[in-house]
Amino acid sequence: MLESLSVLEFKFPWRSYQESFLQNFDSHVSDYHFHVIAPPGSGKTILGIEILRRLGKKTLVLAPTLTIRNQWENRLQEFFVKNNDFKNFSFDIKSPKDVTFSTYQSLHAFYKSFEDKEDYFKFFKYHNVETVVLDEAHHLKSAWWKCLMALKNRNSFFTVALTATPPYDSSRSELTKYFTLCGEVDDEIAVPDLVKENDLSPHQDFVYFSKPNDLEINFIVEYRKKIAQFKDDLGQDEAFIRFLQEHRFYKNPKVNLDDIYTNTSYFSSILIFLNSCGISVEPEKLEILGFNKYENIKFPELNLEWLEILFQNLLVTDREQLINDEDYLLTLEKKLRKLNVFERKQVNFVGKQLLYKSLAYSPSKLKSIVDIVSAESAALGTNLSCVILTDYIRKEFLNTTFSSIETINKIGVLPIFKYVKNYCSHHEDLAVLTGSVVIINKAIFNAFAEIEPLHNFSFIPLESDNSFVQVEQKNRSKNSIVEILTKLFENGTIKVLIGTKSLLGEGWDAPSINSLILASFVGSFVSSNQMRGRAIRKDAEKPNKTGNVWHLACIDPTVTNGGREVDILKRRFEAFVGITNTTIPFISNGFDRLNFPEAISVSDIEHLNNQTLEKAKQRPLISKQWQTSIGKGSKLTKQVSLLHTGEKPFKAQKQVYFFDVVRFFVVELMITMLWFYFEFILKGIQLVISRGLSYFIYAFFAAFVFRFGYKLYKAVILYLRYGYLHKKIKKIGLAILYTFKDLKILNTDIRNIEVVAERINKGDVVCSLVGANNYENALFTKALTEVLDPVDSPRYLIIKTSLFRKRFKTENFYPVPELFGNKKNNALVFKKYWTKFLGRNKLVFTRQVEGRKLLLKARLFHVYNAFKEVSKEVTVWK
């Protein structure tokens, strides 16, 4: 160990979860990686310093911003050195010392400065750098990853990666790069542990809905009408129908088999479109897709998604093959551009981007923010510490007056400032803090001057309201403008602070925040989680703090599920763990925990918002619910939840949810059979006397088949297709677990691991791995989700089939998880355990002609399955 690092020692007792975390230090670093997930407020930086201290090697610490870089040095001096006088550190990557603090940008610039990259590698070898710490590792972009990976491949390092949220919503290739550099996740500190230890505040997420204004509603409705009209006209367009009938896939499918099997969804979209036009599709064409000519094929409905697939291929993917029809394709392209559904070589009939932009930046959200600030101010009074984060400044609205405020048509920092200033009671305690625009009220000049002399700044009165001034720094000062306004916010002089997520969303430390409004719509769930982390930090000055985190959504009135904005929120909520809004609360992730109805319409908005505002007032209840929920568990566990959805009547859904699909039909059949039996016997006494016993027996069997034949047939079919769902899913889980064992993926002794599958109160089936570590749990849930989800494009399929099943069309198709499907030998191990736990099956390689046929049939099986299966991963405190 380096002598300078040996003098470092943590001054305070470790928190219990930190101590538990450090107990496994030696096993974690045995592979030269230490990858940690820990939420904001958990002491990631402190743990990082302890790890580099224990490794005792010359260290390079990399952070995404200068602010976070400086925090590392500050924490090292404050928590690990007696007199705050550790000297052997550097902020200059070109002059490294025993501990060098730098940024990813600086390393990348340093890398580019070398013409001969060998000199770059030699530099770190010469300076003996043996540990690299990657703080907020989710920030690693392609360029940053490249210079780090090059260094890692040439030099031997301990890699310590720290993050609050791994970039799980990145592309598969980016995620692979991330884990190649950082290593698999070694340990995770859970939010409930931090709340339990009083290191994070109790908190709750709230969603406030808004209704688009009339102009926006008209725009959406007109857009939907135009698309519907285009779809209807297309179905009557003889020229387009002839064009598809002359398409090489449809006209000569056997000649174009390779192309068809490469893009079966394209061929399917042609058949589905022609079928919707009343064109009879020949059985020979369906045989190519894996169906025999005797099967009664039910075509999927021609929806906008199928139309997108068709036109995306015609106008982009397959265009070079349709060169002789270029003039006609140009005509189609012009129609689609006129409808605003074709842009940047992307066809989008659903309007995801166009309508999302319209709703995401809807000025209706400005009124939502006013409602929230007013309600929070009424509830908290002088204790309010509210931050509003958004994406853009919108400088064009700087001088908008109150009389013209209704002309504001976009959400942003300055539009929010104008609305809060004019419609809320906050004037003197309102401020704006961004990288280029800073606004304060003149009334706080004295408080400002106590931190920094006023002569170091220019104060320019706003044209629209001279009680507010724009602040610009003119001389070097001890404190930056960010530090000054942060202190004013922390001491309560500023109560409502409006800023950009780029400046305040990450690394900014203001523990007093007790109300955070996220008016940001750009970025991944990683940045959302970072922003949210600002409000859940513990405030030493206010130990009873409860953080309210507000999310905004503008409802699309033309759909039943709330629209694209709600969809985005649902995706982001997968990264958030919190208490549920249920009668008996528990800790989980996901949007469902807020207990909103599945269908959200414009007429529901006022009622839902009133309910939300009422819940937000009950801060003591939120704290109590956290404590109650924490007491019921000991760790966060990932589990797979299997749901049954689809356009089935309520009664049919209820049968699936509450009785289990097979048990319901068996019980129903037995009861009616018993009733029939007694009824027939009573009536049959006279028949025996008059016609004889043999006639009675024949009559009994004939009546039985007539009365129960269909029900018995249906029960058998459903059993063959589904069985008892929770038992079947447990067996699939066991097949995955034992495949893990054979492929040496498990670190935990398999004797200590159990697969648990059960029905919960809604009738959904949940499955989890008990006794495994976080990494094993994550791999298990990912693999099980892949098996249960509708088939996409796996390399291998497991088909549960037999002559009997084929005859009754009850074959089951399951994708082999990607983790096993990358090599044939691994897929065969999975097949072995599938056979052991679930019976006979067939393994099919889908990259060959026959395999592609079965792959398509597997996809279509999910399209019109009697009960469409949908699964999702859920994290629960258990």
How many angstroms from the chain centroid is the CA of residue 395?
32
Backbone torsions φ then ψ of 867, nearest 5 degrees: -130, 105
Q: Which of 695, 721, 747 is the last residue of a domain?
A: 721
Asked whether residue 339 falls in the same domain as residue 367, the answer is no
Per-residue confidence band for 705, with pLDDT thresholds at 50, 70 and 90: low
Asked whether residue 466 falls in the same domain as residue 599, the answer is yes
202-223 per-position pLDDT tens digit: 999 999 999 998 888 888 899 9
Length of the chain: 878
pLDDT recorded at residue 211: 93
Asked whether residue 315 falls in the same domain as residue 417, the answer is no
Asked whether residue 219 falls in the same domain as residue 209, the answer is no
Which percentage of the chain shows pLDDT scores above 90? 47
- What is the C-alpha end-to-end distance of the chain, expressed in Å? 40
Q: Roughly what angle, to the nearest 10 degrees, separates helices 172-182 and 142-154?
A: 40
Per-residue confidence band for 578, with pLDDT thresholds at 50, 70 and 90: very high
- Which residue range forms the structural domain that includes residue 148? 3-189
With CA atoms as reference, report the closest residue to 798 among 726, 756, 752, 735.
735
Q: Please compute the mean of the pLDDT values over residues 83-107 and round it to a whole number.
A: 93
Q: Is residue 750 part of a domain?
A: yes
Choose the most confident range, by mean pLDDT, from 346-350, 456-460, 873-877: 456-460
Euclidean distance between CA atoms 417 and 391, whole angstroms: 14
Q: Amino acid letter at 845?
A: F
pLDDT recorded at residue 648: 34
Q: Please compute the mean of the pLDDT values over residues 519-546 and round it to a whole number.
A: 79
Q: Does residue 450 register a pLDDT over 80?
A: yes
Choose the most confident range, by mean pLDDT, from 158-167, 289-298, 400-409, 709-718: 400-409
Check which CATH number belongs to the domain holding 185 and give it.
Answer: 3.40.50.300
Structural tokens at position 454: 């006023």
Contact, 484 vs 492, CB < 8 A?
no
Q: Please compute the mean of the pLDDT values over residues 856-862 and round it to a whole number.
A: 67
Euclidean distance between CA atoms 541 and 491, whole angstroms: 10
Q: Please compute the mean of the pLDDT values over residues 424-438 and round it to a whole number.
A: 91
Q: Is residue 198 part of a domain?
A: no
Euclidean distance between CA atoms 547 and 195, whole angstroms: 12
322-370 per-position pLDDT tens digit: 999 999 999 999 999 999 899 889 998 887 677 777 788 899 999 999 9
Q: Where are the beta strands (DSSP E) in 247-392?
A: 342-343, 346-347, 386-390
Q: Is residue 105 part of a domain?
A: yes
Asked whether residue 237 falls in the same domain as residue 178, the answer is no
Given strand 796-800, what is the order of strands in its sheet?
812-815, 796-800, 842-845
Maximum distance among all alpha carbons in the chain?
Answer: 118
**Which residue in the block uniquely carries the two structure tokens 């540990």?**
131
Asked whether residue 178 falls in the same domain as residue 207, the answer is no
DSSP code, position 533: T
Q: Residues of 529-552 as b/e, b for ≥16 C-beta within 10 angstroms? A: bbbbbbbbbbbeeeeebbbbbbbb
Structural tokens at position 423: 């419609």
Bigger pLDDT: 426 or 431?
431
Q: Please compute the mean of the pLDDT values over residues 753-757 and round it to a whole number.
A: 91
Q: Does residue 721 register a pLDDT over 50?
A: no
Q: Does residue 657 register a pLDDT over 50?
A: no
Q: Which of 681, 702, 721 is the last residue of a domain?
A: 721
Asked whether residue 698 falls in the same domain as residue 685, the answer is yes
Q: Is residue 643 part of a domain?
A: no
Euclidean distance between CA atoms 355 and 863, whole angstroms: 27
* Pairing outcome for strands 868-877 and 636-645: antiparallel
pLDDT recorded at residue 663: 45
Euclidean distance between CA atoms 110 and 117, whole angstroms: 11
Structural tokens at position 15: 């928190």
DSSP secondary structure string for all residues of 738-800: HHHHHTT---S-GGG-EEEEEE-TTS-EEEEEES--HHHHHHHHHHHHHHHSPP---SEEEEE
With CA atoms as reference, report the closest residue to 494 among 467, 478, 513.
513
Asked whether residue 540 falls in the same domain as residue 577, the answer is yes
Q: Is residue 820 part of a domain?
A: yes
From the CB of residue 815, how many other CB atoms can be counted at a distance below 10 Å? Answer: 22
Q: CB under 8 Å to 31, separation ≥6 — which residues? A: 183
589-608 per-position pLDDT tens digit: 889 899 998 888 889 999 99
Q: Please compute the mean of the pLDDT values over residues 467-491 and round it to a whole number.
A: 90
Per-residue confidence band for 659, with pLDDT thresholds at 50, 70 and 90: very low
Q: Is residue 69 part of a domain?
A: yes
Q: Does residue 257 register a pLDDT over 90?
A: no
Virtual torsion, Cα 570, 576, 580, 586, nearest 10 deg: 140
Q: Which of 684, 699, 721 is the last residue of a domain?
A: 721
pLDDT recorded at residue 624: 94
Contact, 755 vs 799, CB < 8 A?
no
pLDDT recorded at residue 189: 84
Euclidean distance between CA atoms 156 and 170, whole angstroms: 28
Euclidean distance between CA atoms 339 and 349, whole angstroms: 9
Asked whether residue 138 falls in the same domain as residue 15, the answer is yes
Mean pLDDT of the chain: 84
Q: Is residue 645 part of a domain?
A: no
Q: Please compute the mean of the pLDDT values over residues 555-560 and round it to a whole number.
A: 88
Contact, 136 vs 64, CB < 8 A?
yes
Q: What angle do CA 89, 92, 97 make, to 5 degrees?
A: 35
Structural tokens at position 635: 């760790």
Contact, 814 vs 728, CB < 8 A?
no
Virtual torsion, Cα 399, 403, 405, 409, nearest 10 deg: -100
Q: Which contiguous run of DSSP H or E holds residue 876?
A: strand 868-877
Per-residue confidence band for 681, with pLDDT thresholds at 50, 70 and 90: low
DSSP secondary structure string for all residues of 4-54: HHHT----SPPPHHHHHHHHTHHHHGGGSEEEEE--TTS-HHHHHHHHHHH
Asked whether residue 712 falls in the same domain as residue 789, the answer is no
Handedness of CA 479, 528, 417, 490 (dihedral sign): negative
Half-sphere exposure in the Cβ direction for 543 (13 Å, CA): 2
Asked whether residue 223 falls in the same domain as residue 209, the answer is no
Q: Please compute the mean of the pLDDT values over residues 42-47 and round it to a whole number.
A: 88
With CA atoms as reference, report the closest residue to 548 among 418, 373, 416, 429.
373
Q: Does residue 826 register a pLDDT over 60?
A: yes
pLDDT recorded at residue 662: 43
Per-residue confidence band for 198, with pLDDT thresholds at 50, 70 and 90: confident
Q: Does residue 185 register a pLDDT over 90?
A: no
Q: CB under 8 Å to 783, separation ≥6 — which residues? A: 736, 817, 819, 820
Per-residue confidence band for 828, with pLDDT thresholds at 50, 70 and 90: very high
Contact, 664 vs 655, CB < 8 A?
yes
Question: For 346-462, where are the alpha helices, taking DSSP H only?
Answer: 352-360, 364-380, 413-423, 445-451
Contact, 254 vs 288, CB < 8 A?
yes
Asked whether residue 219 falls in the same domain as residue 253, the answer is yes
Q: Is residue 12 part of a domain?
A: yes
pLDDT recorded at residue 55: 94
Q: Which residues pair with 537 in a beta bridge?
A: 200
Q: Amino acid letter at 830?
A: F
Q: Collapse the DSSP code of 676 into the 3-class scheme (helix H, G, I; strand E, B; otherwise coil) and give the result.
A: helix
Euclidean distance between CA atoms 629 and 256, whole angstroms: 60
Q: How many domains is the chain partitioned into structurally?
A: 5
Residue 4 to residues 58, 73, 81, 344, 831: CA-CA distances in angstroms? 10, 15, 11, 56, 55
Structural tokens at position 56: 């005792």
pLDDT recorded at residue 724: 62
Bigger pLDDT: 781 or 854?
781
Q: Roughly what angle, to the nearest 10 degrees, separates helices 238-245 and 326-338?
A: 130
